[in-house]
């Protein structure tokens, strides 16, 4: 199991995002823990989970899976409301398509007054990645109730927040 701490691109919010990622054969599990004053954060309310676009426009959790030694990668968007989407890219921000091999993503959300925990379990066989070496990036977008959007990632290698950069795919599985 790999534990992680996400770094805000602009550290103006009094929050922390930690979590863990683990892979057992074809099964990948990621847990995000958003800690802090959640009354100041926009947290979409749970609804019937459906595939949805533009989840990154408010609080959501993301991860990216890249094939080792390849430009191809997948972007996963997960809303605390249960909504989700997966996109496949041929290269850096190129050839974006919805990944139709995944018909549903089981997102589990638990919340207390100071912690929001989101867990995702993914069977890598759906993407024919069970036997592949993967590079992984973990990220989040957090919207405050004042309308400020903050971007969180394992690293921010450039002057602008950009989750798609392969040099931010720091975890190897």
Q: For 100-137, write each residue's pLDDT tens digit.
A: 999 999 889 999 989 999 999 999 999 999 999 999 99
**Domain ranges, residue 160:** 2-172
pLDDT computed for residue 1 by the predictor: 82
pLDDT category at 10 given cuts 50, 70, 90 is confident
Per-residue pLDDT at 38? 92
Q: 35: domain CATH number?
A: 2.60.40.1190
pLDDT of residue 46: 83
How high is the pLDDT of residue 47?
Answer: 83
Token pair in block for residue 99: 């990944």
* pLDDT for res 143: 94
- Quick: pLDDT tens for 33-63: 999 999 999 998 888 889 999 999 999 999 9
Model confidence band, residue 80 (pLDDT cutoffs 50, 70, 90): very high
Backbone angles phi, psi at 167, to 5 degrees: -75, 5
The b-or-e profile of 45-57 (16+ CB within 10 A means b, else e) is eeeebebeeebbe
d(CA 29, CA 52): 21
What's the total number of domains in the chain?
Answer: 1
pTM: 0.94
């Amino acid at each position: 199991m790999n534990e992680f701490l996400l770094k805000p691109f602009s550290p103006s919010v009094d929050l922390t995002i930690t979590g863990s990622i683990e892979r057992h054969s074809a099964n990948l599990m990621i847990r995000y823990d958003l800690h802090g004053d959640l009354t100041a954060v926009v947290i979409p309310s749970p609804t019937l989970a459906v595939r949805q676009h533009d989840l990154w426009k408010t609080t959501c959790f993301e991860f990216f899976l890249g094939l080792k030694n390849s430009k191809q990668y997948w972007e996963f968007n997960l809303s605390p409301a249960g909504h989700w989407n997966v996109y496949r890219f041929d290269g850096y921000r190129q050839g974006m398509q919805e990944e139709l091999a995944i018909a549903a993503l089981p997102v589990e959300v638990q919340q207390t007054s100071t912690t929001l925990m989101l867990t995702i379990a993914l069977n890598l066989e759906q993407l024919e990645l069970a036997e592949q070496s993967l590079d992984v990036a973990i990220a989040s977008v957090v919207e405050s109730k004042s309308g400020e959007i903050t971007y969180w990632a394992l690293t921010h290698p450039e002057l602008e927040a950009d989750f798609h950069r392969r040099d931010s795919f720091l975890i190897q599985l």
